[in-house]
């Protein structure tokens, strides 16, 4: 939607133009009204207006005085003048300030429609050119930030080529990490709106863009902008790291690195939202990374030591101890947890669980989290997920082992008087549990499975003509030949005698 400001001292004309635009351009404009130049300026100072339709002859401040004032704006709206006076002097003055069109009253609907279509096209073109300039600027500045070996001369050359006329003589570099996206406009535009509204003069000398991590970089001569931004973000959660003050353009990379470093430090505190590089006290890491404790957790996965796992994790991730060692220690600790605990667990267990893998990918980067506590609870949840998953795998492996033993026993002792109680005792499992496990594993109950095994063992014996069918029946575990014949017919569809005759003919 475009914002259009209608300025005329006659109320009926304002409302008439408003109705005409709403009818011809439904859902394209947000319309604001003013009765003179002073009212219009107040609106222009608080709202980002795309197009201005202004009368010339008005009390207080007329249209020419208004466009003279607008001409000093950093972000200038497109201006269309309207007047009941066909005066060439007004037209000349309007042309001097690059007014887009000059319409005479009474306003012709088609002329207004044509003019607005043309102005909209120019607004779109101007915005696209501005976005392209900003993208190019951001790409080149980000190149400076990520290039590990860039020299001072190379930085100065890039900065010179960018022609950053507004670059301040003294500046701070701030990095804003926003957690909740703005609902109405994207984050960078949102920040620019606030800066333009509350720091009008300073804003002309500010540079704002996204870095490679989609955080917002602000180069500003005024450090107070960062606290003001937080005040205006409302319910949006944001954290800001701010560099020391710099006086030379070639120091921009150093400023960015300082701001990144300051932003990292907010991870270990929940009481601050803005961290100045100058506030950070250098810390010398004294405590070694507790690799043995991390390994202990890894060893306990899948055991019955749930509480011990939680206790060890709490000892490893002691915020007071971590804070005394500094953010670098936290990063090293996180890396060790990834390698010794998480990576090794997934190497052993595989990657069958999509849900766990998604958590793993997220927890694998500490700066995916707002603060230490959010990271800690996510890591604890993932470790306990791995713990339960390992338990299940161990249980499945154990059940498979028991079933292999049971089936092997049946295979070797099928001819004996077997029942489920005999087998469950043999593998030392509870009768009811083994019965359930047997059916889950084989898809059959025990009796049906034993019948099938015995009939399969009988087939090669029936192909020996020197053995009587009653002898075969006894050899495979049936007490009565009639029972053998009934089960054989049930499974094979023919009698044992017919099976023998069929195979002797081959």
Decide if 425 contacts 464 (C-beta within 8 A). no
Inter-CA distances, 12 with 6, 7, 8, 251, Å: 12, 12, 9, 58
d(CA 3, CA 172): 33
pTM, entire model: 0.67
Q: Is 327 helix (H, G, I), strand (E, B) or coil?
A: helix
d(CA 379, CA 490): 57
Radius of gyration, alpha carbons of the chain: 40
Q: How far apart are the first and last CA of the chain?
A: 88
Inter-CA distances, 363 with 91, 244, 369, Å: 65, 31, 8
Tokens of 142: 């980000």
Q: What is the pLDDT of residue 290?
A: 94
User: What are the backbone angles phi and psi of residue 54, rounded to the nearest 5°?
Assistant: -125, 140
d(CA 6, CA 312): 68
Q: Do domains 147-279 and 399-504 have the same CATH topology?
A: no
Tokens of 36: 């003179």
What are the residue boundaries of the structural domains of the chain, listed by start?
2-126, 147-279, 291-384, 399-504
Tokens of 420: 């489920």
Decide if 313 contacts 297 (C-beta within 8 A). yes
Q: What is the pLDDT of residue 506?
A: 52
Q: What is the pLDDT of residue 101?
A: 85
Tokens of 317: 């991730």
How many Cα atoms within 13 Å fall on the side-chain side of residue 74? 19
Q: Tell me which architecture the domain covering 147-279 has in CATH.
A: 2-Layer Sandwich (3.30)
Q: What is the pLDDT of residue 354?
A: 60
d(CA 114, CA 104): 14
Q: What is the CATH number of domain 2-126?
A: 3.40.50.2300
| Chosen CATH of 399-504 out of 3.40.50.1980, 1.10.10.60, 3.40.50.10190, 2.40.50.1070 | 1.10.10.60
d(CA 431, CA 421): 6
Decide if 242 contacts 259 (C-beta within 8 A). yes
Smallest CA-to-CA distance from 263 within 282, 244, 276 is with: 276
Cβ–Cβ contacts within 10 Å for residue 126, how many? Answer: 13
d(CA 195, CA 187): 12
* The total number of residues written for the chain in this structure: 506
131: left (phi over 0), alpha (psi -120 to 50) or beta: alpha
d(CA 243, CA 254): 9
Asked, as a colleague might, if the bond just before 425 is cis with ω within 30 of 0, I would say no
d(CA 241, CA 229): 13
Q: pLDDT tens per residue, the chain (506 residues)?
A: 899 999 999 999 999 999 999 999 998 999 999 999 999 999 998 888 999 999 888 888 888 889 888 887 877 899 998 887 666 566 666 667 678 888 888 889 999 999 999 999 999 998 898 888 888 989 999 999 999 889 999 888 888 888 776 678 899 999 999 987 554 457 888 898 888 878 877 887 899 999 999 999 999 999 999 999 998 888 888 999 999 999 998 999 999 999 999 999 999 987 899 999 999 988 776 789 999 999 999 989 888 889 999 999 999 999 999 999 999 999 999 999 999 998 888 776 665 566 677 788 889 899 999 999 999 999 999 999 888 888 877 776 677 888 889 999 999 999 999 999 999 899 887 787 788 778 878 888 999 999 999 999 999 999 998 999 999 999 999 989 999 999 999 999 999 999 998 887 65
Q: What is the pLDDT of residue 397?
A: 66
Q: What is the pLDDT of residue 183?
A: 47
Report the run of H or E that residue 177 belongs to, with start and end. strand 172-178
Q: What is the pLDDT of residue 93?
A: 67
Tokens of 310: 């939680």
């Amino acid at each position: 939607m475009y914002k259009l400001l209608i300025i005329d001292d006659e109320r009926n004309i304002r409302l008439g133009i408003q109705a005409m635009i709403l009818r011809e351009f439904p859902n394209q404009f947000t319309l604001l009204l003013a009765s003179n130049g002073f009212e219009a300026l107040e609106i222009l100072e608080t709202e980002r207006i795309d197009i201005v339709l202004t009368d010339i002859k008005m009390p207080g401040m007329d249209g020419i005085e208004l466009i003279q004032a607008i001409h000093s704006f950093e972000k200038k709206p497109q201006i269309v003048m309207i007047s009941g006076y066909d005066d060439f002097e007004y037209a000349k003055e309007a042309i001097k300030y690059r007014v887009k069109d000059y319409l005479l009253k009474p306003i012709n609907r088609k002329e207004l429609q044509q003019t607005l279509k043309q102005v909209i096209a120019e607004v779109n073109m101007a915005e696209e050119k501005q976005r392209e300039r900003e993208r190019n600027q951001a790409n080149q500045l980000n190149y400076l930030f990520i290039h590990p070996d860039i020299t001072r001369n190379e930085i100065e050359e890039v900065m010179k080529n960018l022609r950053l006329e507004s670059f301040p003589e003294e500046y701070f570099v701030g990095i804003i990490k926003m957690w909740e996206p703005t609902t109405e406009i994207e984050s960078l535009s949102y920040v620019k709106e606030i800066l333009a509204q509350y720091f009008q003069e300073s804003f002309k000398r500010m540079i704002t863009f996204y870095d490679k991590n989609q955080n917002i970089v602000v180069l500003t001569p005024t450090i107070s902008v960062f606290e003001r931004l937080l005040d205006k973000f409302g319910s949006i959660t944001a954290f800001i790291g701010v560099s020391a003050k710099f006086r030379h353009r070639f120091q921009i990379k150093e400023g960015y690195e300082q701001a990144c470093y300051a932003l990292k430090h907010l991870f270990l505190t929940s009481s601050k939202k803005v961290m100045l590089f100058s506030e950070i006290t250098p810390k010398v890491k004294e405590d070694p990374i507790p690799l043995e404790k991390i390994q202990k957790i890894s060893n306990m996965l899948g055991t019955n030591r749930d509480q011990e796992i939680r206790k060890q994790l709490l000892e490893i991730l002691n915020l007071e101890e971590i804070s005394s060692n500094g953010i670098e220690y936290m990063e090293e600790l996180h890396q060790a947890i990834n390698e010794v605990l998480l990576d090794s667990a997934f190497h052993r267990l595989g990657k069958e669980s999509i849900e766990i893998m998604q958590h793993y990918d997220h927890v694998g980067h500490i700066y995916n989290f707002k603060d230490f506590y959010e990271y800690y609870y996510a890591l604890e949840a993932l470790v306990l997920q791995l713990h339960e998953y390992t338990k299940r795998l161990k249980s499945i492996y154990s059940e498979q082992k028991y079933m292999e033993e049971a089936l092997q026993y049946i295979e070797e002792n099928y001819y004996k008087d077997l029942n489920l109680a005999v087998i469950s005792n043999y593998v030392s499992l509870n009768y009811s549990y083994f019965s359930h496990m047997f059916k889950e594993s084989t898809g059959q109950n025990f009796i049906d499975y034993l019948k099938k095994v015995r009939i399969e063992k009988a087939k090669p014996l029936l192909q020996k003509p020197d053995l009587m069918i009653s002898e075969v029946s006894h050899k495979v575990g049936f007490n009565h030949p009639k029972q053998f014949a009934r089960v054989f017919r049930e499974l094979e569809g023919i009698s044992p005698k017919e099976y023998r005759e069929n195979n002797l003919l081959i």
